[in-house]
Structure 1
């Protein structure tokens, strides 16, 4: 299975998971008198829309390079990630606003059975986080990694809801708003998590140097080509799930232009074969 198909399959998993959980959380929150669960349902609903955006991004990103986009269309991925972050911040703001309103309004404590619902949700969301994160790292997808952190943030907001409901039930009268304080704390965590998602996507857009391991891999693989004496500059830019490399290779200074040209092609072919997540390598020959 290629990277694009794996990413799409994983995103569908997220959509189905979040759809089911949004319904369960919403029903449990309404009938169990828990705004923390309702807040959780709101976050899961925004995650569904975010996942559809990720799917659209993958469809666009897999378009081949053309005259107007010589490096391909992969940069749509971090742009989609920015939109996902906007969804998260919006949901966190809504949750915080409603939490403050509920804290100021007297109400009943949540139903005890909501704790069992939350326990199952926490386990499932943590498992979903691990599944999606593993796939995101395997295929170098910024959007999938952001999608994974949606699952992790969902798990943590559910843990906060669990703690809030437990406090309100254990301590009784006067602690009914613990559930709402938990939802407010969850909103703060979502904001913080949004920054963690936003930062690497920004680095990708800005061509920030973040790929030391890949640079080292390219340098070592280059030395396997007969005639390559060493490497000098090596710059990496990420576009979607693939990488472009600009490499200065050191060769014997007595080579002819044709020999240097042929050697550059051999080096490029070797690197593309040796390192599958490289999609293009631009070689500049440096005489020794």
Structure 2
């Protein structure tokens, strides 16, 4: 999905394919919800069905799984934050959910082994508790992905940084409007800038292109910018 989201714009998709990225994150989020439901369903079944105590060696296996999954979570989450990718962050929380489930199983199996008979279902109760954390992580993935699809405005800090780049141009008297939306790993900017109303159209057009070039050349991951020129009126 991330590779597809980075495909360039074409005639049918003039703004690119970036929305595939939050769609993938939403799919992962709903997969986690399904997994939580599946675990809960089977845990309840095992609680109601008598079974033997788990084997002691499963504790060592779970420790390896927990450490591995937590390392993967931290690495993938850091990459997702660095490239600003909801899909990669969602994949990171998939690893975290596996780690949480394994921690719950470790606690439950430990209790069952040390407490003995009568506590065979302790790991199943722990799995039910872990389902709550998995559901919480799923909504942490789904909510920002839906917000991105709905073109929610990014942080005030990012908008201020974009506006300040335009304001540095000597001919820009005021940034009247700055709308920003995220598309995959990049941002698209719609900006209204005010310039001296007495300058000619050709020069105003040059100013707009210079501001656009500054924005696209910044390190703010701006893919494209539409600059609208307005006359600056002194009240």
Shorter-normalised TM range = over 0.9
Whether the 8 Å CA contact 1:244–1:278 is kept in 2: the answer is yes
Aligned with 2:140: secondary structure? Answer: helix
Of 59, 76, 82, 1:115 maps to 59
The aligned counterpart of 1:197 is 141
The aligned counterpart of 2:157 is 213
Higher helix share: 1
Whether the 8 Å CA contact 2:154–2:181 is kept in 1: the answer is no
Where does structure 2 lack aligned partners over 5 or more consecutive residues?
A: none
Of 172, 178, 183, 2:127 maps to 183
Could you tell me the TM-score, scaled by structure 2's length?
A: 0.94
The aligned counterpart of 1:277 is 221
The aligned counterpart of 1:65 is 9
Q: What aligned pairs does 1:79-158 form with structure 2 within 5 A after superposition?
A: 79-158=23-102
Report the Cα offset of residue 276 of structure 1. Answer: 4.7
Number of equivalent positions: 232
Q: What aligned pairs does 1:49-64 form with structure 2 within 5 A after superposition?
A: 57-64=1-8
Report the Cα offset of residue 140 of structure 1. Answer: 1.3
Where does structure 1 lack aligned partners over 5 or more consecutive residues?
A: 1-56
Report the Cα offset of residue 109 of structure 1. Answer: 1.6
Q: RMSD over aligned Cα, in angstroms?
A: 1.4
Q: Equivalents in 1 of 2:108, 2:42: separation in Å?
A: 16
Q: What aligned pairs does 1:6-45 form with structure 2 within 5 A after superposition?
A: none
Aligned with 2:77: secondary structure? Answer: helix
Of 177, 193, 212, 1:249 maps to 193
Say which is worse superposed, 113-122 or 259-268, in terms of deviation: 113-122
Whether the 8 Å CA contact 1:211–1:236 is kept in 2: the answer is no
Bigger radius of gyration among the two: 2
Tell whether 2:209 aligns with 1:265.
yes
